Amino acid sequence: MGRNLTLTYATDVDTTGQQLLQAEVAINRHVSLVVARDESGVFSMVVKATRRFR
């Protein structure tokens, strides 16, 4: 599971209210799910699909 999960935490050191928390889970090589919470507390969920053309 460790290769399939990426966690990101970012904060502004000047203010305490600006924080971003994001998790990305790779479902397979082409599809991943990104869940994020922004500084206002709003959650979002995005499905990312990639396709490589040769």
Whether this prediction's pTM lies above 0.75 is answered by no
CA 21 to chain centre: 7
54 located within any domain: no
pLDDT digits (tens, 9 = 90+) for 30-43: 999 999 998 788 89
24 located within any domain: yes
Per-residue pLDDT of the chain (54 residues; tens, 9 = 90+): 567 899 998 887 777 667 889 999 999 989 999 999 987 888 999 999 999 888
Sign of the alpha-carbon torsion through 14, 8, 31, 47: negative
Report how many domains make up the chain: 1
Q: Phi first, then psi: what are they for 49, rounded to 5°? A: -125, 135
Domain, as residue range, for 43: 2-49
